[in-house]
Amino acid sequence: MRHLCCMSCGSTTDSEAEEMEAEGFKTRIVLGIAKQPQDSQRIITVHTVSDIVETQLDPSYYNCDRCNAEIKPGDKCVAFTASRFGVLPDWEHEFMRIIKR
């Protein structure tokens, strides 16, 4: 699981990570400053019964994966990663300038 969160949603990730670790997950929380989104990061792909539809979202900001709030370039944000399978891939640097791991 990879979630880019606004600061409000990000503030709950500490307790969430604790619970998930107790269940055997590995987790990582990274604080950073949002970068300028790449167009390719702002495409959502929806598979329907008969079709695959790609929608280009506004590339001037990201959306919080939890509450959909706008995360603009320069905004502080939190990246939350969790996996049951040990290795957590690095992805945060594509979305943010990392302040603290």
By CB under 5 A, name the binding residues for Zn ion. 6, 9, 64, 66-67, 69
In the complex, the smallest distance separating the C-beta of residue 60 from Zn ion, rounded to whole angstroms, is 18
6 vs 20, which CB is nearer to Zn ion? 6
In the complex, the smallest distance separating the C-beta of residue 88 from Zn ion, rounded to whole angstroms, is 21
68 vs 84, which CB is nearer to Zn ion? 68
In the complex, the smallest distance separating the C-beta of residue 37 from Zn ion, rounded to whole angstroms, is 16
Residue 31 near residue 78, CB atoms below 8 Å: yes
In the complex, the smallest distance separating the C-beta of residue 66 from Zn ion, rounded to whole angstroms, is 4
8 vs 24, which CB is nearer to Zn ion? 8
Q: How far is CA 67 from CA 7, 22, 33, 71, 98, in A?
A: 11, 25, 18, 11, 22
> Contacts from 16-25 at CB under 8 Å and sequence distance 24+?
16/80, 17/80, 17/82, 20/82, 24/84, 25/82, 25/83, 25/84
